[in-house]
Structure 1
Amino acid sequence: MHFRAQRKNQGELSLSDSIDGDGDGNSLSLMDTISVDDNMLEELDARDACVKVRRCVRDCLEPRESMIITLRYGLSGKRPMTQREIAEQCGISRSYISRIEKKALKKLEAAMEGR
């Protein structure tokens, strides 16, 4: 019975099993060779922050302000546009885009502090 159980588990490997030794005589386990970037929490925080910003842009700004902030910072998944590009698209001056953007960013800052 014992030999059957041994043969059954023959192909299994534990992460703590020694697979090699280094030059100083220390053993190297499989776990030591696996590299994991543990940035999942950071990614979740960033994703959560993006959702909050998009929601705030949608709920707190006028439609024109929302459109300009969305285009300017690429919140729709497209590349961020310059003030000049947005001005050409909207048919207004770049300085007017700048004023709208500045006003919208102040509104967003106030709204985000309140949340």
Structure 2
Amino acid sequence: MGRLSTHVLDTVNGRAAPGVAITLDRLLSDGSRRRLVETLTNADGRTDAPLLSGDGLTTGTYELSFAIGAYFRALGTPLPEPAFLDIVPLRFGIADAQGHYHVPLLASPWSYSTYRGS
């Protein structure tokens, strides 16, 4: 059974990032998008359940958006106004709906990276 999960790591403080607001959209062939999930990361920087699983995970293009600016503001991290990074969008494709796609975000107020994890 396929599934999509994520994890947010705060690379400034060397820890998981709790309380990060995340949205997941499916990008449709006509150029529109459909909101599928709105959630927050838990104390471990993960969501409590997979973002999508089973029949809910289909091939196509998706976009995860992470409210990383709000996360660092809530910690009291000094940020310029506007913040260099506020919402971090990650657009990716699901080619195998039976696979496990783990899309982590490693973030600071100045940079981010991602990869397909396991």
Task: State TM-score, norm by structure 2.
Answer: 0.28
Higher normalized strand content (fraction of residues): 2
* Structure having the higher Rg: 1
Higher RCO (CA 8 Å, separation ≥ 6 residues) = 2
More helix by share: 1
